[in-house]
Amino acid sequence: MHPTQPWSLSPWAGSGDYSGSGALDELELCPSWDLPYGHAYIPTLYLAAFAVGLVGNAFVVWLLVERRGPRRLVDTFVLHLAAADLCFVLTLPLWAVAAALGGRWPFGAGLCKLSSFVLAGSRCAGALLLAGMSVDRYLAVVKLLDARSLRTRRCALAACCGVWAVALLAGLPALAYRGLQPLPGEPGSQCGEEPSDAFQGLSLFLLLLTFVLPLAITLFCYCRISRRLRRPPHLGRARRNSLRIIFAIESTFVGSWLPFCVLRAVFHLARLRVLPLPCSLVLALRWGLTIATCLAFVNSCANPVIYLLLDRSFRTRAWRGACGGVRRPARRVSSASSLSGEDSSVFRSRACSWAPSQSVHSGSGAV
């Protein structure tokens, strides 16, 4: 399976459990068991992530699309990130059903390839969009006036279009190498990958391109931002809060996908016979990948939860949308930072925002 593609519950199916010794036709079969009670809690987790992610990301897209006034550059990245997560969560019910059936895929080869393609592309898009968001914050905080020519709406849109183009290319191996594979020892088929050294090498390369490289860019940008924050003139509270929200999104993504990508790298090296594994480690790797996949898939619903916890304006608008409260205009948002005219909320309009009966203080959109 490709590192940007979904993990099937029987990852070693089709070619047997690999111990890492011998040629491809001499693979050693290792005894393997499914994670205890995985058929119960994994589908439940996927369906919960689908429900939260569908409502949350659709709400984020709606807020940013209908937002009044000029849109900030960070809004462009947030909008596309929510769209990528929305595409991701739409496939989760299919994988939940397959998990409940013990890995059996009842939806046919077409949906197997399509859902794998969507997962691969949306995960790649998420990683690259977060890297683009970190670059934008780096230019806004560290480079400031020197980066005005780069920090334009046209450049942001071009960057997002480039991200989606790369994501579509990264998803193409799913269309070529994933399909229905025999389910070992049981009737039926699973949605899995074809055993191929070429595919394992390509997957390892794309893992470096679509996760390690964006992670390195993100770490560089935030190291430079943290150094800037320690020097005068100090950033205003609103800008710090905005950075805190974005940093929480980046950290959650890395924390969710890093275990999966590390274990997938080990898996590819084992399939390429570079890293021999005894049967005990094969079983540990399989169980670890099952758990890491659950963690990675749940990330698709994490961003709206982060906005809800850290962004006061998002909480206000979410509460109003849920309860249908009476709206009245709040005061115009003013700049809270001497370095930028952006406020701390991702979801507050520059020109006018709406608030419930309590007054909302300018420039404090995140707590």
pLDDT given at position 32? 64
CB of 344 closer than 8 Å to CB of 241: yes
Residues in the chain: 367
Distance CA 213, CA 3 (A): 14
> Do 297 and 75 touch, CB atoms closer than 8 A?
no
Sign of the dihedral defined by the CA atoms of residues 111, 113, 118, 123, in that order: positive
- For the chain, the distance separating the N- and C-terminal CA atoms, rounded to the nearest angstrom, is 41
* pLDDT, position 361: 34
Give the single-character DSSP code of 247. Answer: H
Can you list the domains of the chain with their CATH numbers? 24-311 (1.20.1070.10)
DSSP secondary structure letter of residue 1: -
Name the 3-class secondary structure at 43.
helix
What is the pairing mode between strands 328-329 and 354-355? antiparallel
Instruction: Give pLDDT, residue 340.
Output: 32
303 in Cβ contact with 126 (< 8 Å): no
**Rounded CA gap, 127 and 218, in Å?**
10
What is the predicted pLDDT for the residue at 147?
A: 66
Q: Using the structure block, give the residue that is written with the tokens 């119960």.
A: 40
Mind listing the pLDDT tens digit of every residue in the chain (367 residues)? 433 333 333 333 333 332 232 333 333 466 666 777 777 889 999 999 999 999 999 999 988 888 766 667 788 899 999 999 999 999 999 999 999 988 889 999 999 999 999 999 999 999 999 999 899 888 888 877 666 777 788 888 999 999 999 999 999 988 888 888 887 777 888 898 877 778 788 888 888 888 899 999 999 988 888 887 776 665 556 566 777 888 889 889 999 999 999 998 888 888 888 888 777 788 888 888 889 999 999 999 999 999 888 888 778 877 776 666 444 444 433 322 222 334 455 555 443 333 333 333 333 333 2
Q: Could you tell me the pTM of the whole model?
A: 0.78
- Which residues have C-beta within 8 Å of that of residue 36, sequence separation ≥ 6? none
Which residues, including other chains, have CB under 8 Å from residue 43's CB and lie 6 or more apart? Answer: 96, 97, 99, 100
At residue 29, the pLDDT reads 60
Do 189 and 202 meet the contact criterion of CB atoms below 8 Å apart?
A: no
| Distance of alpha carbon 257 from alpha carbon 4, whole angstroms | 10
Question: In angstroms, rounded to a whole number, what is the distance separating the alpha carbons of residues 189 and 269?
Answer: 26
Contact (Cβ atoms closer than 8 angstroms) between residue 207 and residue 267: no
Radius of gyration from C-alpha coordinates of the chain:
22
Residue 235: CB atoms within 10 Å: 20
DSSP code string of 307-323: HHHHBHHHHHHHHHHHH
Name the helix (H) or strand (E) containing 30.
Answer: none
The distance of Cα 241 from the centroid of its chain, to the nearest Å, equals 22
Residue 91 contacts by C-beta under 8 Å, 6 or more apart in sequence? 6, 115, 118, 119
